[in-house]
Amino acid sequence: MEARCEWGEQYSKTPLGRLRKLPKWMSSGAIAHTTAKNSPVQGAAADTIKLAMAKLFEDKENCPGNPRLNASVHDEVVLSVEEDHVEAAVEWVRSHMASAEREAVADPESPIVVDVEPKDSWA
């Protein structure tokens, strides 16, 4: 993750290469330090959840219990699955989310921990 200047523009970059132009402080013209530090981390998290949802959607035929995506909120994905297949679905989700995180941080060896909690209702 980095923040640098290219072609006269200041930007930060996620590990997957997504760029964010950095704001300048009005009084000094300096690049906003906090944004430069936080943006790559927050961008990697956003990349992770998007990749995770894509992986879950693309592989839904390989998960028992007919998984359905209900919602995504920040770093959480809410799925519905048939009750008899909850444990298999938990492992399926955990595997895809960890894979997405490793891809988003560009580190295939990263020790990722994913919390998956089955609930009777998402309300």
Please, is 57 exposed, middle or buried when counting C-beta atoms within 10 Å of its C-beta (0-12, 13-18, 19+)? exposed
- For the beta carbon of residue 18, count every other beta carbon within 10 angstroms: 15
Q: Is residue 120, in this structure, part of any structural domain at all?
A: no
pTM of the complete model: 0.78
Q: Is residue 122, in this structure, part of any structural domain at all?
A: no
φ/ψ of residue 110, rounded to 5: -60, 130
Q: Is residue 117, in this structure, part of any structural domain at all?
A: no
Which range of residues forms the domain containing residue 46? 2-104
Q: Is residue 12, in this structure, part of any structural domain at all?
A: yes
Give how many domains the chain has, as a whole number: 1
Helices and strands in the chain, H and E counts? 2, 5
Q: Is residue 16, in this structure, part of any structural domain at all?
A: yes
Q: Is residue 30, in this structure, part of any structural domain at all?
A: yes
Q: Is residue 97, in this structure, part of any structural domain at all?
A: yes
**Could you identify the residue written with the tokens 């998402």?**
122
Q: Is residue 42, in this structure, part of any structural domain at all?
A: yes
pLDDT, block means (10 residues), the chain with 123 residues = 53 88 70 80 91 94 91 88 94 94 89 89 72
